């Protein structure tokens, strides 16, 4: 019987395996966090229609090709509430997020495993992931609408470049 040599992993295969592992960890962690989360999903015209189920958001992201914007906050966090009530209610930001991302809002205290995996501390923290769960970037702390837009656009542009190069 022929003996096979050691398995050799190419850098591309190693990256693919790593990406699959991240997706699996994030999605498995999300299964623990299903249910009511803070804040409530916004109604049409009142703000961003947030997902609170990362699994469902990932499915939509994969189907549409839009990256996920995951915003981590907590009920006790002053700057998280400030981000939610000012920046994330700004009509231009609401329109921009709704048009370009699959928006997810998670409570860092309730979704500890996801927050740990995505290194979402300190809060508030915004994370952008490609539909394949590749990290496009993170933004920490409160930002006004103008600065928040700049940060999100940088991360979105990274995704656009990645998507363009992979074709």
Show the domains of the chain with their CATH numbers.
11-165 (3.40.30.10)
Q: How far is CA 37 from CA 7, 14, 33, 94, 127, in A?
A: 44, 35, 8, 20, 18
The Cα–Cα gap between 44 and 28 comes to 30
**What is the model's pLDDT at position 124?**
98
**What is the model's pLDDT at position 45?**
54
**What is the model's pLDDT at position 164?**
77
pTM: 0.75
**What is the model's pLDDT at position 53?**
94
**What is the model's pLDDT at position 167?**
62
Closest CA to 39 of 99, 93, 80: 80
The Cα–Cα gap between 120 and 115 comes to 5
**What is the model's pLDDT at position 165?**
76
Q: How far is CA 38 from CA 3, 15, 104, in A?
A: 56, 34, 11
The Cα–Cα gap between 103 and 89 comes to 13
Q: How many residues comprise the chain? A: 167
Q: pLDDT 10s per residue in the chain (167 long)?
A: 444 444 343 444 344 434 444 444 444 444 444 333 333 334 445 789 999 999 999 999 999 999 999 999 999 999 999 999 999 999 999 999 999 999 999 999 999 999 999 999 999 999 999 999 999 999 999 999 999 999 999 999 999 998 877 66
């Amino acid at each position: 019987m022929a003996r096979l040599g050691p398995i050799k992993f190419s850098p591309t295969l190693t990256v693919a395996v790593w990406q699959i592992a991240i997706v699996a960890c994030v999605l498995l962690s999300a299964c623990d966090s299903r249910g009511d989360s803070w804040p409530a999903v916004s109604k049409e015209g009142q703000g961003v229609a947030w997902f609170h189920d990362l699994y469902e958001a990932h499915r939509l992201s994969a189907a549409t090709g839009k990256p996920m914007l995951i915003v981590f906050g907590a009920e006790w966090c002053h700057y998280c509430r400030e981000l939610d009530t000012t920046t994330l209610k700004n009509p231009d930001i609401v329109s921009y997020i709704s048009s370009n991302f699959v928006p997810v809002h998670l409570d860092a205290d309730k979704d500890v495993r996801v927050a740990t995996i995505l290194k979402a501390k300190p809060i508030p923290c915004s994370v952008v992931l490609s539909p394949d769960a590749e990290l496009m970037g993170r933004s920490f702390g409160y930002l006004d609408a103008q600065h928040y837009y700049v940060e999100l656009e940088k991360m979105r542009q990274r995704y656009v470049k990645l998507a363009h190069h992979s074709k």
